[in-house]
């Protein structure tokens, strides 16, 4: 990423992104200077080092931006909490705070010359000459709303903190013994024998009575809770929704067809064959023999060539290899004719065509509807912005969404009781259109009965929406979901019985029983797998089941859930296969990744140690207040 930014650093966007990347390592320590004492309540305190609520919010907002870019859509605060962004940001700020405090205790610093050098080396601030440009420095900082002194302080803090981090982790390499062990660990494979037990082997299960179902419902009540539902209206304005083919006169459609007939026809094509001769005399002799009754194929054979050698391909006249070849080929009346001798690139040639595909012209009736739709789209595109302005003017004048849409002859669609996943209250997906995801997100961020800014529909369309009803999330009654409870209870009961049967069989095998004999008692199939690799996504065991295989030792017996269907797999390790080689077999990339991980682990240990040395206090109320800003 850094190299990409550097390559494009002459562009303003890249310069700003590079600056923000630098600031992401030093987000603390600038907020009070940026905003005075706004939100200055301390969120984190480690010794004499403090992190303000504003600093926390800056880091939080930046992390949301990073995740939004990764997902391709702006995430809400509620989604951010589900992703655990608040905890991630807090952890990073705590780590930075104790490192800052350690740097302060150690009285680490940075000379003015070194600080100036670091700033000068930042390509975001370099002019066309490749040298530091003070005017550009000021311009870039101005674009992100930061004062020069604020940036200098933040850059200094980041550099000092980095001294502590690099002293612990920089240049760290993993021991050879560790790399050898890692290679053996990653390359190990296992052979297993296993028994598959599915639902068909279970006896018929009698449905629980209402008392049992209600008990199951109460234990899993959260699973049946009704989500928040919203009813909303949508008006979509695009060229497609605006276009009305019936408004286009058929005379105009016919005129368009006649003007652009080339668009509705496929030109004649011919498969061209070319026989090359050393001189014209030989070519004329061959032509005379063909006119006298000899086949073209015989002439090709006599010349010591094959038919594939002389076949150029299938072409329209315009696409022929040369004008001369095209003219000669398309003057032939049939596939039995031969051309006169003509001059070719490599000598005199004779031309024959082996196949003729006539020009195909689509009749007007076959394409009139398509032409009419295209013409209607062009007209719609021309008036789209006028319709947009008319709708907005009507809303500004006090019209409701329905009234404004009616004046512009736009359709209003109402969607009843839709949840955040775009499902109705029966759990079925609601067809809201191509922009469904964006509409759902906007609807659940909007206030009830409030006009909202339109969303984009494609490149040049608009989507207006309005929430008309909000039905809050609530606990459902048993009677509302009794059918679901019955189905879920049955699934859970089958799973319970399958697991019990699988554990019974596994226990018998652990006690010395023969897997094949025990399986035969109930006609369970027995199968084997060889060379199962760690982290493989096996068709039967799945990734999780493979994890179970590698969780037991030699001759180990265990149970795994199958990757597909409601099945249990009782397996026994038959062999553990060790790979040949050692840590030196790892690629440079893998070794570098291990070294980096070891360095990061040491840094994490340092941060943990510093948290004990500099007890950290966290003000949760200040964090909540920061998130509400």
Q: What is the pLDDT, as a whole number, of residue 10?
A: 36
The residue-averaged pLDDT of 359-378 equals 89
What pLDDT score does 11 carry? 40
In this prediction, residue 334 carries a pLDDT of: 92
Of 19-33, 255-269, 443-457, which range is least confident?
19-33
Which residues are 272's β-sheet partners? 313, 353
CA atoms within 13 A on the CB side of 14: 16
305 against 138, higher pLDDT: 305
Q: Which of 165-174, 192-201, 614-623 has the lowest mean pLDDT?
A: 165-174
pLDDT digits (tens, 9 = 90+) for 378-400: 898 899 999 999 999 999 999 99
- Quote the CA–CA distance of 485 and 209 in Å, as a whole number: 12
Q: Share the mean pLDDT of the chain.
A: 84
Query: Residue 553 pLDDT more than 70?
Result: yes
Nearest to 352 by CA among 368, 362, 337, 365: 337
Q: Which of the pair, 2 or 342, is modelled with greater confidence?
A: 342
Query: Mean pLDDT throughout 67-88?
Result: 77
| More confident of the two residues 432 and 611 | 432
What local confidence, expressed as pLDDT, does residue 128 receive? 66
Residue 557 in contact with residue 509, Cβ under 8 Å? yes
Q: Of 135-149, 156-170, 338-352, 599-613, which one has max mean pLDDT?
A: 338-352
**What pLDDT digit, counting tens, does each position of 314-332 carry?**
999 999 999 999 999 999 9
Helices 85-105 and 148-169: angle between axes, nearest 10 degrees? 80
The predicted model gives 45-67 an average pLDDT of 78
The segment with the largest mean pLDDT, out of 17-21, 59-63, 197-201, 569-573, is: 569-573
pLDDT of 455 reads 93
Residue 32 has pLDDT above 50, yes or no: no
| 372-389 b/e (C-beta count within 10 Å ≥ 16 → b) | bbbbbbebbeeebeebbe
Indicate the SS3 state at residue 514: coil
Cα-flanking dihedrals φ and ψ of residue 617, to 5°? -110, 140
Query: 12 pLDDT exceeds 60?
Result: no
Just give the CATH number of 268-358: 3.10.50.40
Which two three-digit tokens encode residue 75? 């995430």
- Where exactly are the structural domains of the chain? 2-171+612-627, 189-223+481-577, 229-240+378-471, 268-358
The pLDDT value given to residue 613: 80
C-alpha–C-alpha distance, residues 109 and 494, integer Å? 66
Give the confidence band of 19 by pLDDT, cuts at 50, 70, 90: very low
Specify the higher pLDDT residue, 268 or 148.
Answer: 268
Q: 44 pLDDT exceeds 80?
A: yes
- Give the model's pLDDT for residue 516: 96
Element holding 431 (H helix, E strand) = none
CA distances from 316 to 124, 321, 330, 357 (A): 55, 10, 9, 9
Using the 8-state DSSP alphabet, how is residue 201 labeled?
G
Quote the CA–CA distance of 573 and 528 in Å, as a whole number: 10
| pLDDT-wise least confident of 142-146, 267-271, 365-369 | 142-146
pLDDT mean over 471-482: 94
With 90 as the cut, is the pLDDT of residue 65 above it? no
Q: What share of the chain is helix, strand, coil (3-state, %, to 5)?
A: 50, 20, 30
pLDDT bucket at 284, cuts 50 / 70 / 90: very high
- Residue 116: predicted pLDDT: 76
SS3 letters for 574-595? EEEECCCCCHHHCCHHHHHHHH
Q: Three-state DSSP class for 419?
A: coil
Does 155 or 462 have the greater pLDDT score? Answer: 462
26: pLDDT strictly greater than 60: no
> To 5 degrees, how large is the angle CA 503–CA 564–CA 185?
70
User: Do 351 and 325 contact (CB within 8 A), yes or no?
Assistant: yes
Q: How do residues 98-130 score in pLDDT, each as one tens digit?
A: 888 787 888 777 677 777 777 777 776 777 677
CB 192 within 8 A of CB 573: yes
For the chain, report the end-to-end CA distance as a whole number of angstroms.
31
Q: Which helix (H) or strand (E) holds 132?
A: none
- Give the per-residue pLDDT at 463: 95
> HEC string of 34-96?
HHCCCCCCEEEEECCEEEEHHHHHHHHHHHHHHHHHHHCCCCCHHHHHHCCHHHHHHHHHHHH
* Tens-place pLDDT, residues 396-444: 999 999 999 999 999 999 999 999 999 998 889 999 988 899 999 999 9
Q: What integer pLDDT is reported at residue 171 of this predicted model?
A: 66
pLDDT mean over 42-63: 79
- What per-residue confidence (pLDDT) applies to 169? 65
Beta strands in 342-439 (DSSP E): 342-344, 347-357, 360-361, 412-418
- Minimum mean pLDDT among 88-97, 561-570, 619-628: which range? 619-628
**pLDDT recorded at residue 152:** 75
What's the average model confidence in pLDDT over 546-555? 95
Name the pLDDT band for 140 (thresholds 50, 70, 90). Answer: low
Residue 541 pLDDT: 96
Q: In this structure, what token pair is assigned to residue 621? A: 């109320």
Report the candidate in 333, 334, 346, 331 with the shortest Cα–Cα distance to residue 274.
346
Residue 201 · residue 497 · CB < 8 Å: no
Instruction: Give the CATH architecture of domain 2-171+612-627.
Output: Orthogonal Bundle (1.10)
pLDDT at 31 over 50: no
For residues 622 and 306, give the distance between their C-alpha atoms in angstroms, rounded to a whole number: 86
Model confidence pLDDT, tens digit, residues 208-242: 999 999 999 999 999 999 999 999 999 999 998 89
- How would residue 8 be classed by pLDDT, with cut points 50, 70 and 90? very low
What's the per-residue H, E or C state across 214-241?
A: HHHHHHCHHHHCECCEEEEEEEEECHHH
- Mean predicted confidence (pLDDT) in 363-385: 90
Instruction: Tell me: pLDDT of 21 over 50.
Output: no
Distance CA 271, CA 288 (A): 23
Residues 6 or more apart whose Cβ sits within 8 Å of residue 493: 205, 208
Rounded to a whole number of angstroms, the CA Rg of the chain reads: 38
Whole-structure pTM value: 0.51
Distance (Å) of CA 408 to CA 143, 233, 378, 394, 449: 41, 16, 18, 9, 21
- Cα 407 from Cα 325, distance rounded (Å): 63
pLDDT, residue 145, reads 55
Q: In the chain, pLDDT over 90 holds for what percent of residues?
A: 48
């Amino acid at each position: 990423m850094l190299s990409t930014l550097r390559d494009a650093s002459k562009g303003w966007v890249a310069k700003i992104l590079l600056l923000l990347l630098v600031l992401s390592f030093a987000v603390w320590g600038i907020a009070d200077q940026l905003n005075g004492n706004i939100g200055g309540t301390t969120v984190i305190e480690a010794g004499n080092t403090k992190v303000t609520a504003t600093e926390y919010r800056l880091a939080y907002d930046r992390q949301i931006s990073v995740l939004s870019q990764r997902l391709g859509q702006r995430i809400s605060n509620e989604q951010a909490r589900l992703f655990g962004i608040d905890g991630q940001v807090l952890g990073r700020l705590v780590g930075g705070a104790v490192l800052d405090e350690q740097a302060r205790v150690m009285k680490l610093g940075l000379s003015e010359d070194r600080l100036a050098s670091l700033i000068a080396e930042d390509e975001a601030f370099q002019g066309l000459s490749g040298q530091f440009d003070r005017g550009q420095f000021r311009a870039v900082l101005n674009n992100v709303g930061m004062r020069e002194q604020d940036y200098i302080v933040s850059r200094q803090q980041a550099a000092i903190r980095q001294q502590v981090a690099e002293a612990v982790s920089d240049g760290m390499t993993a021991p050879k013994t560790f790399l050898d062990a890692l290679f053996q660990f990653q390359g190990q494979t296992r052979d297993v024998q296993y028994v598959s037990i599915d639902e068909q082997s279970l006896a018929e299960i009698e449905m629980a009575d209402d008392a049992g179902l209600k008990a199951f419902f109460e234990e899993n009540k959260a699973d049946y809770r009704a989500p928040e539902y919203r009813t909303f209206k949508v008006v979509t304005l695009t060229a497609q929704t605006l276009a009305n083919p019936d408004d286009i006169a058929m005379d105009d459609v016919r005129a368009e067809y006649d003007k652009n007939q080339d668009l509705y026809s496929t030109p004649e094509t011919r498969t061209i064959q070319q026989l090359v001769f050393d001189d014209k005399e030989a070519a004329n002799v061959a032509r005379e023999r063909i006119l006298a009754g000899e086949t073209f194929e015989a002439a090709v054979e006599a010349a010591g060539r094959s038919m594939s050698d002389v076949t150029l391909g299938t072409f329209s006249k315009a696409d022929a290899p040369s004008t001369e070849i095209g003219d000669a080929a398309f003057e032939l009346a049939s596939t039995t004719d031969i051309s006169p001798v003509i001059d070719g690139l490599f000598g005199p040639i004779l031309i024959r065509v082996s196949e003729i595909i006539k020009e195909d012209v689509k009749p007007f009736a076959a394409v009139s509807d398509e032409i009419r739709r295209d013409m209607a789209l062009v007209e719609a595109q021309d008036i789209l912005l006028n319709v947009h302005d008319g709708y907005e003017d009507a809303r500004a004048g006090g019209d409701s969404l329905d009234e404004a849409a009616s004046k512009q002859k736009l359709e209003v669609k109402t969607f009843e009781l839709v949840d955040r996943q775009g499902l109705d209250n029966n759990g079925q997906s609601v067809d809201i259109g191509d922009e469904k995801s964006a509409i759902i997100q906007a609807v659940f961020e909007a206030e009830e009965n409030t006009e909202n800014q339109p969303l984009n529909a494609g490149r040049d369309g608009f989507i207006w929406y309005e929430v008309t009803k909000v039905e809050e999330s609530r606990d459902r009654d048993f009677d509302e979901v009794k059918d679901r409870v019955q189905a879920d209870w049955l699934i859970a009961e089958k799973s319970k019985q399958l697991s019990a049967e699988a554990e019974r069989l596994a226990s018998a095998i652990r006690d010395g029983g023969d897997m094949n004999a025990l399986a035969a008692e109930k006609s369970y199939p027995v199968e084997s797998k060889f060379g199962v690799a760690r982290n493989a996504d096996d068709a039967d065991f799945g990734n999780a089941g493979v994890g179970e295989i590698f969780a037991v030792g030699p001759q180990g017996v265990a149970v795994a859930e199958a990757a597909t269907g409601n099945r249990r797999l009782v397996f026994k390790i038959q062999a553990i296969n060790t790979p040949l080689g050692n840590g030196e077999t790892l690629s440079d990339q893998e070794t570098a990744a291990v070294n980096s991980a070891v360095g990061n682990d040491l840094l994490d240990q340092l941060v943990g140690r510093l948290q004990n040395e500099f007890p950290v206090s966290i003000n949760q109320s200040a964090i909540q207040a920061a998130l509400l800003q």
